[in-house]
Amino acid sequence: MLTVEDLTVAFGPTTAVRGVTLHAAPGTVTGILGANGAGKSTTLLGIHGRVPRSSGRIVLDGQDVTGHDTRALVRAGLALCPENRRLFPGLTIEDNLLVGAHGQGRKVRRQRLRGIYDRFGWVHARRAEPAGRLSGGQQQTVAIARALMSDPRLVLLDEPSSGLSPVAVDEVGEALRDIARAGTAVLLVEQNVRLVRQLCSTAWVIAHGEITAHGTVAELFAAGAVSDAYLGKATVPPDSGS
C-alpha cells in the first residue's frame, strides 16, 4: 500500500504539484487522470525522488520512505516506467531486463529472469536481440517486465500507451492486469480513457497540480469529473474583458 501525503513539487517560483495526497492499494490499478501539464508526471517523479520535493511524505507498506533517494526507493519496492524512455535501445532485451535487477546478486537476477520468461514467452525467444528492434508495444511490455525485475510492491507507470497502436495498448493493458492480479500495486498515469476504464478501479483526478476529485472510475466518469479535467470546466468567463 502506497500513501502519499501533501506532496508538493516546485521548480523555482512555479509550483507544479501542490499538496497532493493519494493512495494506491495492492492488487489494484489506480489511475491518475488529468489534462496535459496538470502535474501527473511530476507527481510520479516526485514520488520516485526524481525531482526535489518541497513537502510531502511517502509511506510504502507502513515504512516511511520519504528521505530515500531513487536507488533506495527501488530497493524498497518502488519501480518506475518513465514516459517515452522505455528501453536502452543498443542493449539486448536480456541486458535491459538485467538492469532492472542491477542491485541484486547473480542468482537472484537469473531467477527473476526465468520468472519473466515464463510470463512472457516471446521475450525469451528474442532475448538476444537489440531492444531497439522491437515495436513500440513490445518495447513497452519489456519496459514493464524490466520494472518487475526489481520485484516491486508498487509499479509507477507514466503513459504506457502513448504512441502505441490500439492492439499494442490492449497487450500492455493485459500485462498490467496480470501484474495487479499477482498482488502488486500499480499507479498509472494515462491519457487513454479506454485503457483507464478497462484497468483502473479507482482514480485521482489532477488539475493545475492539485487533486480535484477521487473515487471509483465509474463514479468519476458519471459525475463528469474526468471530462472536466481533460476538457476543462467552463470556468473562464466567456467575456474576460480583453
Partner 1 sequence: MPASSTARHAAALGPVAAVSVLAHVLLIGFQGEAGQLTLLAVSWTIALTGLNFVQGIAGYPSLAQASFFGGGAYLSAILLDHGLPAALAAALAVGGTMLAGLVVGLVFSRTRGQYFAIGTMFFTAVTTLVFTNAADWTGGPDGRPVGLGFPLDTTLLLLAGSLGLGLAAFHLLAGTRFGARLRAVREDEDLAQHLGVPTARVKLVAIVVSAGFGAWAGVLFAQYNGVVAPSQFTFVQSFLMFVAIGIGGAGRLFAPLVGSVLVLGLTQLVNFGPGVSQIVLGAVFIAVTLVAPHGVLGVLGALWDRIRTKAVTA
Residues that bind partner 1 (CB under 8 A): 48, 50, 70-75, 79-80, 82, 85, 88-91, 95, 98-100, 102-104, 106, 109-110, 146, 150
Write down the least CB distance from residue 76 to partner 1, Å. 10
- Give the nearer residue to partner 1 in terms of CB position, either 29 or 74: 74
Closest contact distance (angstroms) between CB of 4 and partner 1 is 18
Question: How many whole angstroms separate alpha carbon 20 and alpha carbon 189?
Answer: 14
Q: Distance between CA atoms of 221 and 216, rounded to whole angstroms? A: 9
Sign (positive or negative) of CA dihedral 44, 49, 54, 59? positive
State the first-to-last Cα distance of the chain, in angstroms, to the nearest integer.
Answer: 49
Output the nine-digit C-alpha cell for 101.
Answer: 535487477
18 vs 146 by CB, closer to partner 1: 146
Name the residue nearer to partner 1 (CB basis): 93 or 207: 93
For 116-131, b/e burial (b = at least 16 CB within 10 A) is bbeebeebeebbeebb
**DSSP-assigned beta bridge partners for residue 24:** 2
Three-state DSSP string of 171-217: HHHHHHHHHHHCCCEEEEECCCHHHHHHHCCEEEEEECCEEEEEEEH
| Closer CB to partner 1, 75 or 126, in the complex | 75
**CB within 8 A of 12, min separation 6: which ones?**
none
What's the closest the beta carbon of residue 88 comes to partner 1, in angstroms?
A: 4
Question: Residue 50 CB, nearest distance to partner 1 (Å)?
Answer: 6
Nearer Cβ to partner 1 (111/216): 111
> Minimum distance between the CB of residue 71 and partner 1, rounded to whole angstroms?
4
The residue (of 19 and 130) whose beta carbon lies closer to partner 1 is: 130
Pairing of strands 55-60, 210-216: unpaired
Smallest gap from Cβ 80 to partner 1, in A, equals 5
